Structure 1
Amino acid sequence: MKTLRSALLASALALPLAAPAAFAETPPGVLVVAQNIDDIVAIDPAQAYEFTSGELVTNLYDRLVQYDAEDTTVLAPGLATEWTADEEAKTLTFTLRDGVTFHSGNDFTAADVVGSLSRVIELNLTPAFILTQLGWTPENVGEMVVDNGDGTVTIAWDGDFSSAFVLNVLAARPASIVDMETVMANEVDGDMGNAWLNANAAGTGPFSLQTYRPNELVRLAANEDYFKEGPMLDGIILQHVPESATQQLLLEQGDVDIARNLTPDQIAGLGEGTKVETYPQAAVHFLSFNQKNEELTDPALWEAARYLVDYQGMTDSFLAGQMEIHQAFWPNGFPGSYDETPFTYDPERAQQILDEAGIELPITVELDVINAAPFTDMAQALQASFAEAGINFEILPGTGAQVITKYRERTHEGMLLYWGPDFMDPHSNAKAFAYNSDNSDDAYAATTTWRNAWAVPEEMNQEVRDALAESDPEARLEMYMDLQQQVQEESPIVIMFQASYQVAMDEDVEGYVNGATSDFVFYRLVTKE
């Protein structure tokens, strides 16, 4: 069977895929995906920070603990089979999985764990900040990540963090474990194999990298010795097809199995033999008011605003398939999300709130928005619904860079933007939406609270700190749910939607998993007729 699978894959990989016109009907046992992959800058897990590179890392590598294809909401054993926490000593000890080999054939060992995590800190490339949160530096990481010599590794941290937080950090992309023997054999000028790993891969994951041609294609082959179920297919081909119209044509002709970047109109116009799956994404979209503007500081205005958003009207029309109503800062689909949506479009109630608070109307608010769909459409819808209560939005469209720069400088009035977590722990968003310990202009923080000049009540700041340190996992999640409810009820940040992502595919494709971030795209369980 192994010889047959290898032969089938070799045949599939020989297909002439250099241009869309060269596609043939997709081969059995190989999934062909049309996708825009030109965002990739790096595929070394110590550097990879783009959407598509995150997908590749997830399918090529494993971590000690990881969210996986069977259930993207459960933190599951990966290269570690079990772990024990010593909250007082601030350590986690992991028992490593026996019998795992890298794609090279090298055995997975504790030295690979120590080397991989230390390598991220020493290289100090873009995603390293996720691990350096643990107090790791090039000088101390050797003492923080220790091979105990008995098939276990102990990981320590310096900071008031719970082990639950640390586990989520270790489940993040830069904590992927690489084959240190192979990587260091390809070191050039002290780069710890970085240049080589940006054209190759050295993991234990369900797939190995066969071919990587930037802005053209990626070919993955099944790892038949993978320690979990699957892969079900012999291989995956990601073909760079930047034009969504071409993706649609190839899908409808049967030349690809999945089209990843279709527009809502194209999704709606798909013909027979195809299906569409919708996946909630981690990004939350919000409207916020800068508290440096005195007219926008009354909590009654914030409350009224929550009843002036036509949530259902937008998601039933131009946002259909792109967003779902969500009114809390941690996305649905992850432990600790608060999924109540108590606010609906009710201009009469909003007007009553404003009248009872004695807010002088009308007022005019400049609303900064990225000059692209669906953001401009959302801004126009908000402009129309808020005008009914005497709040007039003057829409200021700009490029993404212009809008975000203005936001960081705290020079906006109203802002229409979105936010996604850096890693899948609720603290990642709690620190952005519910924490601001220093609201001064010279205390820059990459958070929505500071950028909107909202001086978060100290009780809420303390709860964020307490949740970060809480050792009881269930109690910790309850604290984050409470924080979300508080922000939902009374803050100058009106969270409205959670993004959704639609993927079109052949009706015979099953088992494709697209979680809330690019790190949660899994091909291991995919089958096709």
Structure 2
Amino acid sequence: MKLFKAALLAAALAMPFAPLAAKAETPPNILVVAQNIDDIVAIDPAEAYEFSSGEYVTQVYDRLVQYEAEDLSKLSPGLAEKWTADEAAKTITFTLREGVKFHSGNPLRGEDVVYSLTRVVKLNKAPAFILTQLGWTADNIADMVKADGNTVTIKFTGDFSSAFVLNVLAARPGSIIDAETVKSNEKDGDFGNAWLNANSAGTGPFKLRTYRAGEMLTLDANPDYFKGAPAVKSVIIRHVAESATQQLLLQSGDVDMAKNLTPDQIAGLKDITVETYPQAAVHFLSLNQKAEALQPEAVWEAARYLVDYKGMTDSFLKGQMNVHQAFWPKGFPGSYDENPYSYNPEKAKQILADAGIKTPIKVTLDVINSAPFTDIAQSLQASFAKGGIEFEILPGTGGQVITKYRARTHQGMLLYWGPDFMDPDSNAHAFAFNEDNSDEKYQSTTTWRNAWAVPKELNDETKAALAEPDQNKRNEMYVDLQKKVQAKSPIIVMFQAELQIAMSPKVHGYVNGALPDFVFYRTVKKD
């Protein structure tokens, strides 16, 4: 504990502190967070595609339009103070705020917006598809995004409305970076990607002081932030994989906030504030269709009856997950909230027997090596064995598991998915769409990563829902898609997350929305 404290203070701002009391205490102007952040693969906003990296990007960067801590229910002006849409011409014209500066001191310009969006498309990292769905390519992006002084004009193609486009631009890859600073740090045509994975160049309420993968993120407040300087001077996010260690650090006063405690640990806390935040993430078990044994549809159906949904949510997942078996989160417009499947190993065995499938079926199951994933994996291992499917659990860090998933080299995979932006199409494209299943056509979707060649009917319906102008009819189409994917897909959605965060009673104003992109430290105050 003392070694942790020493490292923590060394990473903080250099300033004198009073002698420590018997119970440790973090500095009054520094927020210290214990969190498992080993899922981070990249922090460049053009590449960052993990939950923890999404939280980071929101602290450091702004978008033209964005969801704000003060009201997460509506899209608000960000770096653009206003905009006008021409639906017929498929054009949106943005007027940038005056007086906004990057952390370097460079002023925000239209050229920064053009460069930021262009580099996402040309780098073509994991989240690039969010922008390229607007019809943007490396060849045409110069014609689609243009700047004239303080005005930026964005064009799009495709059968969707400007409202959809605004939600796309509010997503993580829509973050605006300091073009001059990043250009000066480019190497071998990488658009500054290597540099931005160790440094920051945003306008946001915080700037990056230090990032050490699998260890720590340290953020310093931006005193010139256009919405006002954060109340705390620094945020230290310490990677602590073990929930028991997080609990000890919180109770001893070495951290202000613990983000990955189990329900039992939450229940045992004293003199600690616990807040519950509904989350958009859905947790699922997926079966890679490159594995021959997992290709029969009977295996998919049987698997749905081998998950002990209630047993898990009534015990070790209590307060962390609710049973939810559709790909769009409950509580969002267009969600389907029926849960027709329950644990029934006898029915599962009968389904496999009727299909002539011999058991046992042996499957490797990749899982992130931390709670609650390892606990879910062990439950699945026990419940699936009763139906004739035997899991060999392969634990790994978040980065290792996600990298393997993207390479399609797994068999079974236990993971989670959150919308990339606040529109049902974000999840529909991830769970119900895959028109090109070839290995060389990488797509950041669960369908492609599990090598599922989605039936033409679902592909067509996904595209039709995206184009539908009537919102009520559009929601009905997404409900229908969820029913079909729920009934016949190698991706078994099991739960929707709830997030319980424990924090010192001295901490106030923390905002944690349904997406990792909606985590805000700029509103936090400490007594």
Asked if Structure 1 and Structure 2 have the same fold, meaning a TM-score greater than 0.5 normalized by the shorter chain, the answer is yes
Structure with greater Cα Rg? 1
Counterpart residue number, 2:6:
none
Q: TM-score, normalised by structure 2?
A: 0.79
Q: Secondary structure at the match of 2:388?
A: strand
Kept after mapping to 1: 8 A contact 2:364/2:410:
no
Q: Which amino acid aligns with 2:414?
A: L
**Distance (Å, rounded) in 2 between the aligned partners of 1:126 and 1:362:** 37
- Look up the SS of the partner of 2:283 in the other structure: strand
Conserved 8 A contact 1:12-1:27: no
Cα pair 1:430 1:464 within 8 Å, conserved: yes
User: Unpaired runs of 5+ in structure 2?
Assistant: 1-8
Paired residues, number: 506
**What letter corresponds to residue 425 of structure 2 in structure 1?**
H
The CA deviation string for residues 469-521 of structure 1, in whole angstroms up to 9 with x for no partner, is 23455543443233213333555644221234432211232222233443232
CA distance in 1, matches of 2:72, 2:461: 27
The alpha-carbon distance between structure 1 residues 185 and 439, as it changes in their structure 2 partners (threshold 3 A), is: closer
Distance across 2 between alignment mates of 1:409 and 1:10: 41
CA contact (8 A) 2:303 2:384 kept: no
User: How far did residue 344 of structure 1 move?
Assistant: 5.5
Distance 1:482 1:353, change over 3 A: farther
State the distance in 2 between where 1:450 and 1:53 align. 22
Contact kept in structure 2, 1:110 and 1:147, CA below 8 Å: yes
Does residue 92 in structure 1 map to residue 92 in structure 2? Answer: yes
Is the CA contact 2:366–2:395 (under 8 Å) kept in the aligned structure 1? yes
Compute the displacement of 1:434 (Å): 2.2
* Alignment check: 8 A CA contact 2:432 2:454 kept: yes
Q: Is the 8 A contact 1:146 1:154 kept in 2?
A: yes
Among 303, 317, 320, which residue is 2:318 paired with?
A: 320
Displacement of 1:328 in angstroms is: 0.7
| Structure 2 Cα separation of the partners of residues 286 and 404 of structure 1 | 17
Measured after TM superposition, the shift of residue 12 of structure 1 is: 6.7
**In structure 2, what is the Cα distance between the partners aligned to 1:221 and 1:519?**
19
Provide, for residues 107-164 of structure 1, a one-character-per-residue CA deviation record: whole Å limited to 9, x for no partner.
Answer: 3222221122123334444443433333433332211101144x33111234444434
Q: Tell me if the contact between 2:279 and 2:515 (Cα under 8 Å) persists in the aligned partners.
A: no
- Classify 1:36/1:326 alpha carbon distance in 2 versus 1 (closer, same or farther; 3 Å): closer
The amino acid across from 1:341 in the alignment is E
SS in structure 2 opposite 1:250?
Answer: helix
Please give the secondary structure, in 2, of the residue aligned with 1:285: strand
Shift of 1:27: 2.3
Aligned to 2:484: 486
RMSD: 4.4
From the superposition, tell whether residues 405 and 148 of structure 1 become closer, same or farther in structure 2 (CA, over 3 Å): closer
Corresponding residue of 1:504: 502
Question: Is the 8 Å Cα contact of residues 284 and 329 (structure 1) preserved in structure 2?
Answer: no
* Residue 188 of structure 2 corresponds to residue 179 of structure 1: no
What are the within-5 Å matches in structure 2 for residues 53-132 of structure 1? 53-132=53-132
Q: Secondary structure at the match of 1:117?
A: helix
> Structure 1 counterpart of 2:227, which letter?
K
Query: Equivalences for 1:99-498 in 2 at 5 Å?
Result: 99-149=99-149, 151-187=150-186, 191-212=190-211, 217-228=216-227, 231-275=230-274, 277-286=276-285, 296-297=296-297, 302=301, 309-332=307-330, 334-338=332-336, 340-343=337-340, 345=342, 347=344, 359=354, 364=359, 366=361, 367-370=363-366, 373-383=374-384, 387=386, 391-398=387-394, 415=412, 417-421=414-418, 423-424=420-421, 425-437=423-435, 458-473=456-471, 475-489=473-487, 491=489, 493-498=491-496
Give the distance between the partners of 1:163 and 1:22, measured in 2 at CA: 58
Q: Give 1:437 deviation, angstroms.
A: 4.5
Contact 2:273 2:504 in 1 (8 A): yes
User: Following the alignment from structure 1 to structure 2, what is the Cα–Cα distance between the partners of residues 38 and 407?
Assistant: 16
- State the alpha-carbon separation in 1 of the partners of residues 449 and 187 from structure 2: 42
Question: Quick one: distance in 2 between partners of 1:216 and 1:44?
Answer: 18
The 10-residue stretch of structure 1 (415-424 or 325-334) with the greater mean CA deviation from structure 2 = 415-424
Secondary structure of residue in 2 paired with 1:369: strand
Matches for 1:42-53 after TM superposition, within 5 Å: 42-53=42-53
Measure how far apart 1:178 and its partner are.
Answer: 1.4
Q: Secondary structure at the match of 1:364?
A: coil
- Specify the alignment match of 1:527 in structure 2: 525
* TM-score for the superposition, normalised by structure 1: 0.78
For residues 338-386 of structure 1, give each alpha carbon's deviation from its aligned partner in whole angstroms, at most 9, with x where no partner exists: 3x134263759x859979x9947996362542366124323145337xx
One-letter amino acid matched to 2:252: Q
Query: For residues 225 and 490 of structure 1, do their structure 2 counterparts lie closer, same or farther at Cα, with a shift above 3 Å needed?
Result: same
